[in-house]
Amino acid sequence: MDDSTRDGPLTGVRVLDLSRVLAGPYCSMALADMGADVIKVEHPQGGDDTRRFGPPFVEGESTYYLAVNRNKRSLALDLKAPEGKAVLWKLVEQADVLLENFRPGALERLGFGYDACAARNPRLVYCSVSAFGHHGDPAWTRRPGYDVILQGMGGIPSLTGPVDGPPSKVGASIADVVSGMYATQGVLFALLARDRTGRGQHVDVAMLDGQVSLLTYLASAWLNAGVEPPRVGNRHLSVAPYSAYRAADGWLNLAVANDALWAKFCDLLDRPDLLEDARFATNPDRVRNVEALEAAIAPTLAQRTVAGWIEAFDAAGIPAGPILTVPQVLGHPQLLARGMVPALPHPTLGTVRATGVPVRLSDTPGGARTPPPALGEHTDAVLGELGYDAAAIAALREAGVVA
């Protein structure tokens, strides 16, 4: 294990990562960033599916795979071979966490379901990420799911996009990423409970649950007031003006979230008529009359550049910001100052850049240390730690059990 993990809060925690694609690897990367020793178990033929996701590729490496697999060690292991199962049992017995995102029932059929693993290692935290969860209606728990499916079923696209347009998914894979975040939370909660009880437990994360959790006040509107939230484009259901607005040379976002800010806003625009207009007197009034409100402010906002407005709004304490492209975001000086675009040395690519660690701890910060591993890059090292000598490893490789 790389001793550069010594400063992370999860130093000494071993994670057996059987997951692939995005939700599970996002979770295991978060744990690895904070010092956990993550052993990424992949099939010897091909490995993680995302190694082939693309374009784009960089000299044969998938940028998708590179995004969420840093700080891990790769063990290429055939889980269906008897010898591969023997290796996996050794890993289970030594692990603190097992992470998987197979369809419910798949690992049970291989003999590595939660009950079997907990019997061998009662302290094991066993985290499962799936589309619809391991508990509930069997007609749903057995089903597969990808991000676009779960976004749609979670209600997000019904709220996203132009008012008169079709439903629109979020551009980023939020169903996967949110599930990875909740899986990280669940693992940490279970590890904390284990400190008190001495026992591990099963963490069951459903992608659908994660999407529903994002609805917050939108769900509450329906559950408690019987109001179905409409699609409002870039507007807010309960605050105005709160949207994207056209300036002279582009677009900016404004969030005039209370009446005090509204007064400042009208003063800055030199529009006392707006402040005196009864249709816009209070926030509920402005929400009810948002069409008239936006028509009234549009000509004034179109008179200055985005940068000019941002500077003026910032000086007045009015929340505003530019709408950036991905290249602009990743070159933003504040993100660069916070180390959010780290560069890692890579054995074949020279340097790999990625998004950084979004949680900053003052004393045990963790961080991006090692690049995403090549398939089976650490097979010999991991097997050696389990007690396999060179001859035994060679025999497993000859039999195709490892790579």
Residues 52 and 5: their CA atoms lie apart, in Å, by 29
Complete DSSP assignment for 5-51? GGGSTTTT-EEEE---TTHHHHHHHHHHHTT-EEEEEE-TTT-SGGG
Instruction: List, as own/partner pairs, every contact residues 148-152 make where C-beta atoms lie below 8 angstroms and the sequence separation is at least 24, other chains included.
Output: 148/175, 149/175, 150/175, 150/207, 150/208, 150/210, 150/211, 151/175, 151/211
CB atoms within 10 A of CB 69: 26
Give the H/E segment covering residue 112. none
Token pair in block for residue 352: 């790999």
For residue 103, count CB atoms less than 10 angstroms from its CB and return exposed for 0-12, middle for 13-18, buried for 19 or more: middle
Residues 104 and 108: their CA atoms lie apart, in Å, by 8
Stated length of the chain:
403
CB atoms within 10 A of CB 292: 13
Q: Buried b / exposed e across 58-67, counting CB within 10 Å, b at 16+? A: eeebbebbbb
Catalytic-role residue among 176, 267, 314, 363: 176
- Rounded to the nearest angstrom, the gap between the alpha carbon of residue 1 and the centroid of all alpha carbons in its chain is 26
Token pair in block for residue 325: 């492209």
List of residues 6+ apart from 231 with CB closer than 8 A: 158, 159, 160, 161, 162, 163, 167
Q: Strand 242-246 to strand 125-130: parallel, antiparallel, or no bridges (unpaired)?
A: unpaired
Residues 324 and 329: their CA atoms lie apart, in Å, by 6
Contact assessment for residue 7 and residue 13, using Cβ atoms and an 8 Å cutoff = no
**For this structure, is 176 an active site residue?**
yes
Rg of the Cα atoms in the chain: 25
Token pair in block for residue 338: 């916070």
Whose CA is closest to 72, among 321, 335, 338, 374?
374
**Residues with catalytic roles:** 176
